[in-house]
A and B are shown apart, each in its own frame.
Chain A
Amino acid sequence: MKIVIVNYGAGNIQSIKFAIQRLGYEAVLSDDPEEIKNADKVIFPGVGEASSAMKKLKNSGLDMLIPKLKQPVLGICLGMQLMCNYTEEGDTKGLGIFDVNVVRFNHGVKVPQIGWNQIEGLDSPLFEGVTQNEYIYLVHSFYAPITKDTIATSTYGLQYTTALHKDNFYGTQFHPEKSSLTGERILRNFLEI
């Protein structure tokens, strides 16, 4: 199986590579459209600020490629947010895969949310073997409200989306690569879809 982690200069991707390695698979980092197109699984990571990450995607033409991919694609954290229509962060237009607008936490909670929260409303093969209310690691200031593509939610001042699924596209607001055994299970589920 060929696993490609999209490498567009956005943050900590080493951890995802290692997490996949711990599951017994190998992943390559790439920004080459051909290599990404030909992968069996694509992971679209992202840590950092939305508008500058989007700029990098555009510079490499990956903003056109990613929405057209046919194999399973997993966006993580900012990756997931960039797969949405729009994010308030830096007033940034997204890839438009998930029909939802990402907004800033503004409900009397500390921002960013940093730490372990629980996921519930699990509704996807992505969560096979994962029980409701298990803990996942999050670090983010912006969130996707609940939408028709929501397959997991968490509560932080309000209930919001922590995972999305539409066709071959998946997204998690949490970091499976940093979410201990629960995260490893979710990552394995994705790789074995």
Chain B
Amino acid sequence: MLTKRIIPCLDIKNGRTVKGVNFVDLRDAGDPVELAQIYSEAGADELVFLDISATEERRKTLANLVLNVAEKVNIPFTVGGGISSIEDVDILLQNGADKVSVNSSAVKNPQLINDLAGKFGSQCITVAIDAKQIDGEWIVHLVGGKVPTELNLFDWAKEVEERGAGEILFTSMDHDGTKDGFANEALNRLSTTLTIPIIASGGAGNIQHFVDTFRDGQSDAALAASVFHFKEIEIKALKQELRNNDILVRL
């Protein structure tokens, strides 16, 4: 049977790993390639690299990083951050990325999803959606959660699926950095109304939160950063506890 996935996320700036707390304060948590290897050996199912650099060399730096990761790591990984064209995706896939994730560029130009899925196949196109609740309604946000759009989370998620995305990475800006658990109500609604896999992101603080998001949120995968980077949760212990709760995992 297909197992639930545990995905450490590595935020990358100028080739180094950082983690934003509520997307504002950044702390250095090491060398990405080394960290990727450690996570792979620790039992991570997949990795996400999110590039937040804003330099002119970012494209080249990221392609190099992808190549270095692909050389050393024997589990799949996704690369996101600033991807806005077929050329961007082509370079990353050619250097060894398994999937790419697009976020703001898809909101600004939804046709990009169709174009990418058509050219590279849905299976390697993840659409990342950041959202938070405004007056009780889930609203999609851009630029790391700073800029609200007109889009409703569930409408946008449906559109993204129809345009050919292979999966959705949903980050709740209300939960991110709180360590208070995932946005399971919204996740459950996404997971039961859409037919593509949903990755939960934002809010992981303890092992029970992962149990909850797989059970109550019906998430297909759960992504977290700092709880793994600062060793607050060991992946092996996490997966053992998930299994104890009758949640299917790879151990």
Contacts and interface: CB of A to CB of B under 8 A. Distances in A.
> Is chain B a partner of chain A in the same complex?
yes
Given A137-B75, A139-B76, A116 B166 contact: no
Interface stretch (A30-38, A57-65, A177-185): A177-185
Nearest to B93: A12
A28 interface: no
A78 B196 CA distance: 19
Contacts of B123: 47, 112, 114, 139-141
A161 to B, nearest CB: 16
Contacts of A168: none
A18 interface: yes
A114 B45 CA distance: 11
A11 interface: yes
Nearest to A78: B121
Interface in B169-190: none
A116 B120 contact: no
Contact of A18 (B5, B71, B195): B71
Given A48-B120, A117-B2, A110 B93 contact: no
B250 A116 contact: yes
Nearest to B46: A115
Contacts of A137: 75-76
B61 interface: no
B51 interface: no
A113 interface: yes
Contact of A116 (B3, B121, B195, B196): B3
A135 B98 contact: no
For the side of the interface on A, what is the size category? Answer: 35 or more
Contacts of A116: 2-3, 5, 45, 250
Given A14-B94, A178-B98, A110 B121 contact: no
Interface string B186-221: 000000000111000000000000000000000011
Nearest to B118: A49
B97 A12 contact: yes
Interface in A133-165: 135, 137, 139-141, 155-156
A131 interface: no
Nearest to A114: B197
B75 to A, nearest CB: 6
A181 B220 contact: no
B3 A135 contact: yes
A180 B123 CA distance: 20
Interface of B: 1-5, 40, 45-46, 67, 70-72, 74-76, 93-99, 118-124, 166-167, 195-197, 220-221, 250
The 6 closest A-B pairs by CB, nearest first: A14-B96, A48-B121, A135-B250, A116-B250, A139-B123, A178-B76
